Amino acid sequence: MDDTPDRFVFAARLSDFKPGACLTRAVGGHTLALFQHGETVYAVDNRCPHMGFPLDRGTVKEGILTCHWHHARFDLASGGTFDPWADDARVYPVQVRGTGGGAEVWVDVTSSPADRTHQRQRLRDGLERNLPLVIAKSVLSLLANPAAAESPMSPEPAEASAGVEPFRAGLDFGTRYRAAGWGQGLTILTCLTNLLPDLDPADHARALVQGLAAVAADCDGHAPRFPIRPLPSLETNLATLRRWFRQFVEVRDAEGAERCLVSAVRTYAEPAELAEMLFAAATDHRYLQSGHVLDFTNKAFEALDIAGWEHAAPVLGSLAGLYASAERMEESNAWRHPVDLVAILELAFERLPSALKTGRTRRDRARTPFKLAPVLLGDNPQDIVDILLAALREGCTEVEIAGVVAYAAALRIAQFHTSNEFGDWDTALHTFTFAQAVHQGMRRVRPAGPDELYPPLMRGVFDAAMSLYLDRFLNIPPARLPEPDGTVAWDPNVLLTELPRLLDRQQQVDEAARLVAGHLYIGGSARDLLRTLGGALLREDRNFHTIQCVEAAFRLYHQIGDGPEGAHVLIAAARYLAAHAPTVRAQDQTYQIAARLQRGDRLFEG
């Protein structure tokens, strides 16, 4: 006797079918569309896998089911789609029991839904075909049932670990399928993933989806990248590879530079050693490509911190072309005339070893590096260089000096006057993101030893200071920084509610600054403010620079802490975001559609 449980349940009688019509039945918690085509009955989940339209309103012709909302087409027997943007429809096994007029249709609805392998493939499909809705649906499905994963992300590794798998997929895709190598898409993906610990957990999937969609858009229409292999043996030492790498960058030989770089990875160089190798070449010339080369390099290192350093060869190799092709600012008129900034910097680099040697004996003194900011924002480049060297002699560390230059660059944005042309926001932004990348990089490289001159990345600190000088016109006149007001008695929760409403209107730059300052100065929660600003960023069709600004500001805020300086940094982020809001918000609408589908909402009735 066969005691195997019968998984099939009654759904309909054959006599219920009308010629050319479809039946809908609720069976085992599923709504099925039942089609009789020829002598066979088929059972299909009634929700179109594209956007949930009821498939019983579609038509069947020659075994192909067509949904009439967006005309997605499916093989009725297998559910397989002929339109990759739609995904496969879910079909169920059917048995017809009995004969004649009493025949019955029974359906097995216990078949499992799409597994993780399918969702991973759908994410790949979305990246390959630049389909944001497909990307969103696959990410939501992967995050809903996360695989066991360890993540180095902090401070919330349990929440962040689920996002590592889609992040790795985007990183792998972006480094393989863009011939030009690392670009804006991978930078956006890394920035938004860095923001996860500061976002409301409900926004984690949204951030990952937007980052992955940026990678897909950045790779769309580009040829794939064919990586260079490392040298055949491991006999060449790291010091030689480092020297060769800089030589190849100097003569703009991207392939030679990449081979040295991936060979250095293969020699099992430590992350700090690889950082020193790249940052040295990135600062051999002044302010490469308006700072993007060093900024992208720093983001590539941060991506490896998230995904794992086993991905170092393709990720770092994708940077080589940027180094070889970058514009060098010593070739720029603005850096040479009417003041020769490059000459001033070259003399400063000669004085750096002595300043650091003296300062290393004074590291136990109390230091207040933020007091340097007014001079850094001044209009005398020689004074700027001199005060940085003096601070190093007084015992300020390389990281502290890099941090105060990044802070001063944030102040440029916090005090950016709206009488400037709109495009000038980007001028201030480039200096800030470069300065903050130098600051982050300085925390990554090893401190110079007593017999070493100085970390080559110190040159980037002085480059950022000179770029700050060139941006001085953006604060003429400076916008007024909101100050603490003891008469304010606002409720912090009201401020957080009001900020998103404010960003529904154009150019609420100064108003946004006052709200952020008011929230912080009355003791409002910084974490709530970060979540509010992050959520406001994600609802916009924000451009590349806005993401860069907010992410750099959040990171700098965490590093310099509470107090007036931290408030100024978040004011800068709020002002930049307000200047670039509102937008059409089409990308978030696509994400909301995917989220409603994930919940089982009936979109077509909404």
Domain ranges of the chain: 8-108, 116-219, 238-329, 339-475, 492-588
With cut-offs at 50, 70 and 90, classify the pLDDT of residue 149: very low
* Rounded Cα distance, 67 and 58, in Å: 5
- Does residue 383 have a pLDDT over 60? yes
* Rounded Cα distance, 109 and 105, in Å: 13
- Could you give the C-alpha distances from 282 to 134, 413, 434, in angstroms and in order? 38, 25, 11
pLDDT at 452: 67
Give the relative orientation of helices 116-129 and 204-219 as an angle to the nearest 10 degrees: 50
- Could you give the C-alpha distances from 492 to 41, 185, 272, in angstroms and in order? 61, 35, 42
Percentage, residues of the chain above pLDDT 70: 94
Per-chain mean pLDDT for the chain: 91
* Rounded Cα distance, 603 and 593, in Å: 8
CA-wise closest residue to 210 among 140, 271, 155? 140
pLDDT at 126: 97
pLDDT at 155: 40
With cut-offs at 50, 70 and 90, classify the pLDDT of residue 151: very low
Q: Which of 14-18, 174-178, 309-313, 393-397 has the lowest mean pLDDT?
A: 14-18
Q: What is the mean pLDDT of residues 161-183?
A: 94
Residue 23 in tokens: 């039946």
Per-residue model confidence as pLDDT tens digits over 88-144? 999 999 999 988 778 999 999 987 766 888 999 999 999 999 999 999 999 999 998
CA-wise closest residue to 28 among 53, 43, 10, 46? 10
Q: Which amino acid is at 296?
A: F
pLDDT at 147: 64
Q: Which fold has domain 238-329?
A: Zinc Finger, Delta Prime; domain 3 (1.20.272)
* Cis peptide bond upstream of 492, omega within 30: no
pLDDT at 153: 46
CB 45 within 8 A of CB 89: yes
Residue 312 in tokens: 């170092």
Helix (H) or strand (E) holding 95: strand 94-97
Q: Which CATH number fits domain 8-108: 1.10.340.30, 2.102.10.10, 3.30.70.3280, 3.40.720.10?
A: 2.102.10.10
* Rounded Cα distance, 214 and 174, in Å: 10
pTM of structure: 0.93
Task: Count helices and strands (H / E) in the chain.
Answer: 24, 10
Per-residue model confidence as pLDDT tens digits over 463-490? 999 999 999 999 989 999 988 765 555 6
Helix (H) or strand (E) holding 43: strand 40-45
pLDDT at 562: 87
With cut-offs at 50, 70 and 90, classify the pLDDT of residue 363: confident
* Rounded Cα distance, 469 and 119, in Å: 50
* Rounded Cα distance, 455 and 441, in Å: 11
Per-residue model confidence as pLDDT tens digits over 213-252? 999 999 999 999 999 999 998 788 999 999 999 999 999 9
